[in-house]
Structure 1
Amino acid sequence: MQDTIGIDISKDTFDIHRLSDRRHERFGNDKAGLAALRRWIGKAPVRVVYEATGRYHRDLEAVLGAAAHSLVKVNPTRARRFAQATSQGAKTDRVDAAMLARMGAVLDLDAKPVRSETMHEIRELHVARLALNKDRTACRNRLEAARNRVVLAQLRARLRQVDSQLAQIDTELARLIAEDPALARRQAILLSIPGIGAVTAIAMIVEMPELGTMDPKEAASLAGLAPITRESGKWKGRSKIGGGRRGVRNALYMPALVAIRHNLHFADMYRKLVEAGKPAKLAIAAIMRKLVILANALIRDDRKWTETAP
């Protein structure tokens, strides 16, 4: 890369900082602003560093990705910690843009593939499905305590509506994946793994698009399932898991329980851990880690899981 550019994204504007000449500009977060931003950056490929901001960075990715720039999307928490580590206490749009440019250069951040439009739609549907599931759980809980006939009727109507909307989302997800051969193959591989169903497969596709490109330790760490050692001098604390992609961990908990109950390989692994004195939750986390590592290996090798060659 010839240069690094930091972009602070808000609902209405983009604040830009170019590291080479420390120049700052502001453009509107709209079609005209994106066109002006593309002209300002120029044709030479540059590293563009920006924070994940939901729908507000989606058009930016499409425009700059099409112009062959290297896009680096960073976690806002990680960016804030970098600012704190460099004693940057101020926080404005202009300061944040400069901090992101410096972060990309100092850490030599690598570009990541931009999500396709299909993946954007699948992710949006997946997030909507998670919200509907929360609504359904809340309605069921309220239904158990409700006594008034009007309230009961409304809650039952809401449950029927949620079930209908979930069915619509599942149908649309199935259509989108079926229309993309690469995604359809990835889903088929994931569904072959014991315990992983359609909902979990979608969650893994959305939350860990990197599956198939990492080594086992990287896959476990990205999912937040790699044990974190805690030692200092003579003190040794318990290792624990954390960080990573919480959505993947949440999605894998029930599949791990199903795999333990219905698959001999995972059941035997779980039993040995418990017999060795490991807590049940730790043993379940180990099964979850095994599922992620297995999914990564199978997608990498483009093959389905089999009983004889897991």
Structure 2
Amino acid sequence: MGNAFALQPDEPATKIQHDLKELRSFRSGLIKDRTGIMSRLKTQTLPITCRQSKTRLAQVDKNIAEINAEIDRLINSNDTLANSMKILRSIPGIGAVCASTILIEMPEIGSMDRKQVACLTGVAPMTRQSGQWRGKSFIQGGRKVVRDALYMPALVAMRFNPDLKAKYQAMIKAGKPPKVALTALMRKLIELANALIKANRNWVIKEA
């Protein structure tokens, strides 16, 4: 795929990129722990198990907050990352976690064209075809961590971003499944993020 889209090999990870990737991975594990604890709490009835689960949950929440603070510190210690973070946070729906995930897991952001960034994220539709037969479009490959991080921002955009809301509703009206329409919004968001960082400018609302 790299040859097909003229992507250059990744540069060796810098120390800060390595540290950020380790922090993000650790945070992901903590979030899974938190989800598991909250799920168990729903079925626990004994005072001792509930008490210990709540104590563990409070500790995990504290750990997540500490990891988030360290991620923010490292990003702000680098002018380029700090500027890109500011640009990403200007996009409605993209919060600190999504923005940091994009910067950590896709350091190429801002250096690609629309097709490249969509393929690298794994939100570009692919179609199985053979001769005159064409199958349904689907997505594959790409960086799942980035794709997962874009899911919630796409849901927010579907409700509160006028342009993307209109696009979503138009696709649904045209008969597209909700999952396909939501993936299209995810693609729009990552393409927008890439374009704004490339242009070194914040998102601004369109004038009527």
- Same topology, TM > 0.5: yes
Partner in structure 2 of residue 151 of structure 1: 49
Q: Which among 147, 150, 173 is matched to residue 71 of structure 2?
A: 173
Relative contact order, CA 8 A, sep 6+: which one is greater?
2
Which has the greater radius of gyration?
1
Q: Which among 192, 196, 200 is matched to residue 294 of structure 1?
A: 192
Between the aligned partners of 1:149 and 1:157, the Cα distance in structure 2 is 12
Partner in structure 2 of residue 270 of structure 1: 168
Amino acid at match of 2:49: V
Q: Percent identical across equivalent pairs?
A: 47
Query: What are the Cα deviations for residues 111-163 of structure 1, in whole angstroms up to 9, with x where unaligned?
Result: 42122111111111111111111000000000000112221111111100001
Distance change (3 Å), C-alpha of 1:227 and 1:166: same
SS at match of 2:110: coil
Between the aligned partners of 1:219 and 1:173, the Cα distance in structure 2 is 23
Amino acid at match of 1:206: I
TM-score scaled by length of structure 1: 0.63
1:53-202 maps to which residues of 2 (within 5 A)? 110-202=8-100
**Greater percentage in strand:** 1
1:248-259 maps to which residues of 2 (within 5 A)? 248-259=146-157
Q: State the 4+ residue runs in structure 1 displaced beyond 6 angstroms.
A: none
Shift of 1:233: 2.0
Between the aligned partners of 2:132 and 2:195, the Cα distance in structure 1 is 37
Instruction: Output the aligned Cα RMSD.
Output: 1.6
**Greater percentage in helix:** 2
Between the aligned partners of 2:100 and 2:150, the Cα distance in structure 1 is 11
Distance change (3 Å), C-alpha of 1:110 and 1:212: closer
Distance change (3 Å), C-alpha of 1:141 and 1:117: same
1:17-56 maps to which residues of 2 (within 5 A)? none
The answer for unaligned runs of 5 or more in structure 1 is 1-77, 79-108
Amino acid at match of 1:303: R
Between the aligned partners of 2:149 and 2:94, the Cα distance in structure 1 is 9
Between the aligned partners of 1:160 and 1:204, the Cα distance in structure 2 is 27
Query: What are the Cα deviations for residues 17-49 of structure 1, in whole angstroms up to 9, with x where unaligned?
Result: xxxxxxxxxxxxxxxxxxxxxxxxxxxxxxxxx
The answer for unaligned runs of 5 or more in structure 2 is 2-6
Q: Which among 103, 106, 110 is matched to residue 212 of structure 1?
A: 110
SS at match of 2:13: coil
Q: Which among 254, 261, 272 is matched to residue 159 of structure 2?
A: 261
TM-score scaled by length of structure 2: 0.93
Amino acid at match of 1:175: R
Amino acid at match of 2:30: L
Distance change (3 Å), C-alpha of 1:253 and 1:110: closer
